[in-house]
């Protein structure tokens, strides 16, 4: 393990229109001690060819190609397994980072000895136009609070493997990132938010998160099968999550 290295986990699936900008946002970081591990989940577009061009220019960019389509949980876990860095960060293949994201967040973690952190982020359109919608984060988040509402954007998370070891996502098709946060919170006690806008989440009409019905189904699956909550607890937390969406509570 390299104590100063940040390993960036990026699953890739049919994102040829966005992956260049995502990679550029990593290349543009003020903190330059990183490795970018891109795991392709059998894309049918030219995303892999784009990544290979960047690989020729920068040896910190690594590409792993899965032999069969397995979902983002498997792709992310593959990257985590191959990571050499002390810190694990997540950035999807269509999202972007502020240039000072890594520098500011790592300083925030080191100054306070935090093992698990996340930041505020902003929405943008498919065309990369920023939307006046920000997702704020609490200063501190517990496991029980996270069951009620998940303010954590995957593109903002960094965790410290020196304190936590390598922690992997549950193997479900959706909500696997949420499952990882809950796993860490259950064990660590708290996660800590840096309420500064350091990342940009792309809203895509064809994304996995676009189907509200499927999200409810996988939220239930997360509560019952992964967290092993009772039926009554699951109904309670699902109701709270649904109500927060209606009221737009962040």
pLDDT of amino acid 244: 66
d(CA 250, CA 247): 9
Domain count, the chain: 1
Q: Let me know if residue 58 belongs to a domain.
A: yes
d(CA 102, CA 29): 7
**Which residues of the chain fall below pLDDT 70?**
206-212, 244-250
Q: Let me know if residue 101 belongs to a domain.
A: yes
pTM value?
Answer: 0.92
Q: Name the nearest CA neighbour of 180 among 43, 79, 63, 31.
A: 79
- Domain CATH for 10: 3.90.550.10
pLDDT of amino acid 170: 93
User: Domain range spanning residue 127?
Assistant: 2-206
Q: Let me know if residue 156 belongs to a domain.
A: yes
Q: Let me know if residue 45 belongs to a domain.
A: yes
Q: Let me know if residue 190 belongs to a domain.
A: yes
pLDDT of amino acid 250: 41
Burial class (CB in 10 A: 0-12, 13-18, 19+), 237: buried
Q: Let me know if residue 224 belongs to a domain.
A: no
């Amino acid at each position: 393990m390299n104590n100063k290295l940040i390993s960036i986990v990026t699953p890739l699936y049919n994102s040829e229109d966005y992956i260049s900008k995502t990679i550029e946002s990593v290349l543009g970081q003020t903190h330059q001690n990183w490795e970018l591990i891109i795991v392709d989940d059998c894309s049918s577009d030219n995303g892999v060819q784009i990544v290979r061009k960047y690989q020729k220019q920068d040896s910190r960019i690594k590409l792993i190609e899965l032999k069969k389509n397995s979902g983002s949980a498997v792709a992310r876990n593959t990257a985590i397994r191959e990571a050499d860095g002390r810190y694990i960060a997540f950035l999807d293949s269509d999202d972007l980072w502020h240039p000072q994201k890594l520098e500011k967040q790592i300083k925030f973690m080191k100054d306070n000895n935090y093992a698990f952190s996340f930041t505020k982020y902003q929405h943008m359109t498919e065309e990369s136009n920023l939307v006046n919608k920000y997702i704020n984060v609490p200063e501190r988040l517990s496991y029980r609070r996270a069951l009620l509402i998940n303010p954590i954007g995957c593109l903002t998370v960094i965790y410290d493997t020196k304190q936590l070891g390598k922690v992997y996502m549950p193997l479900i098709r959706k909500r696997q990132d949420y499952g990882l946060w809950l796993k860490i919170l259950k064990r660590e006690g708290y996660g800590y938010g840096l309420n500064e806008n350091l990342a940009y989440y792309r809203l895509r009409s064809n994304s996995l998160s676009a189907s509200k019905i499927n999200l409810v189904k996988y939220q239930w699956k997360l509560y019952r099968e992964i967290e092993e909550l009772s039926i009554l607890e699951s109904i309670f937390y699902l109701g709270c999550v649904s109500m927060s969406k209606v009221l737009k509570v962040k």
